[in-house]
A = this chain, B = another copy of it.
């Protein structure tokens, strides 16, 4: 028997209808023949070739190599409807190797996603097009998540698959029953984050997660053998995955493998042996086809080799018809789903729709926040803001049931677990608290996936110093505009003895540097409640809640409805007369400012204190409002147990600053504040020096 699919270099095999073409499947194959399959896959290949050539920039190698995988997936297995890109029960497809974006754009165009017209394909990588260099879900309908930084897609996919299980546990598998399918590259699997992701997925037995590994054995530097010797199947199996290996250009084998994967009770890796740049006579199987246009001559040669008669950006009618039919074939499933959904009780439907739309239960949220603030003022007393956060969460998670908590193995330290929260386990997804393990990066990426899937507002904790581990995923959340909430505790030298490896110094500045990210550093329980409200209401951006390990006094004694933190900065204490000094502080240093104010006032220097829980919110306000908060006192001092970077945008470069200029040290917290000169006395001295100079 002709084993054509083993001859991967024979790029254009004769049509073969004698194959066990039907035996491998459970329902009628969409494509009627190997020949049609080839034409469908070649349509993807040539759209990628043509778009990259026109842009003179891009990555043809992956789309050409993965076209067979994608064709089988989208014509045979995935559940979707091109006319309804946001259908909640669609399968999610994630191209982790985002540089192969033309694979996605080609698919979306061929399947009939309206927005992705041929004009957009022609405008690949041009300003304002729907076809940017890497897939951007906030730009292009039909794209589930933004990929490009390797390892992120496969890890975000774990979040999608978790969200599906979590929603199914709440709304039933009649309404929530879809899969998450990933195409990942060698590079994705080399990134450490992928290990965190596959660990989590294996542990949680996310059976509806399938990863197709584009095993083309080529990386940018050359054959992967120059840097990789890992047996990937064995590695995934070690983490509890089902694994298979197939010829990635054999549609029958691919379909059979997918059928096996779908039947498994574990997540599945399918190692798909492919040829990068499949079809290009001179460049296939080489790193030369990874990230450069093929060039006119090689395109012509590829056209001949693959028997592709159509011109650039042309799709033969038979291929387009078949693709368009594939794009519509989910309509029936969607209609059936809609009927099941419509049969639900109205309250269930409303709750499902509310959660998928990311709308908050506004009244309950406001009530919860008000209650916490009132109780905090009534209780008084010193509390670490991480503990304040726990107090807030105890009430808030009941009012906002879509909140999904967690911690990177620091639950008791981050105080992220609210009363009554239940652990998510491999056999029970009705819980609302995730033990992420010591996997900050995988956690942050999975939280992105959970937010992107819809239905939950994920929040989770680690130490602020270890936000560095999650940083690439936090950045993606900001770029995508996703509401994920990072609870980052132990936020300064105030953590004490654990020393400089654990003491953030530059992390506040580094997080504030990321566009579209909210960095919230509350000073007491009232501000912590306000910051939680801000984070929840910030629908289109991630938030970082920066919380202290050490106890802090209650400074806000008002508990009325106003969220003062929402303005980013506000006057906490007015001066006794015309202000000579304005003190600006955040979080744990706000009480130092209050102490310094008392000392200055006692020396006859009228001093006001401004609390600055969020730079971003403050800097977004109109200049006049900002000026009013900054005030006109001749002396200004900023106070934060961190570096000055970023502060000048608030207080100006002429102001004084009391903070850190180096790494921290290991000692009890109080000694460290003294050692590094972050004391009320130092603030007073800085203020008086400023006054002298003014």
Contacts and interface: CB of A to CB of B under 8 A. Distances in A.
B229 A202 contact: yes
A644 interface: yes
A192 B190 contact: no
A57 interface: yes
B133 A666 contact: yes
Contact of A645 (B99, B129, B505, B649): B649
Interface in A204-240: 219-222, 224, 226-232, 234-235, 237-240
A634 to B, nearest CB: 16
A275 interface: no
Interface string A128-162: 11001110100000000011111100000000000
Interface in A477-536: 478-479, 496-502, 505-506, 509-510, 512-516
A516 B662 CA distance: 8
Contacts of A55: 497
A262 B601 CA distance: 70
A8 interface: no
Contact of A498 (B133, B196, B425, B652): B133
B409 A220 contact: yes
A356 B438 CA distance: 35
Contacts of A232: 238
A466 interface: yes
A585 interface: no
The contact size tier of chain A is 35 or more
A496 B203 CA distance: 40
A501 B143 CA distance: 15
A644 to B, nearest CB: 7
Contacts of A229: 199, 202-203, 239-240, 426
A211 to B, nearest CB: 15
Contacts of A136: 499-501, 666
A127 B667 contact: yes
Nearest to A234: B238
Contact of A437 (B228, B425, B437, B472): B228
A229 B505 CA distance: 35
A12 interface: no
Interface in A452-487: 465-466, 468-469, 471-472, 475-476, 478-479
A83 interface: no
Contacts of A442: 192
Contacts of A471: 468, 471
Contacts of A235: 235, 238-239
A16 interface: no
Interface in A652-685: 652-654, 661-663, 665-668, 671-672, 675
13 contacts: A99-B498, A132-B665, A133-B502, A191-B192, A195-B195, A203-B227, A203-B229, A220-B413, A224-B437, A229-B239, A478-B663, A644-B649, A648-B648
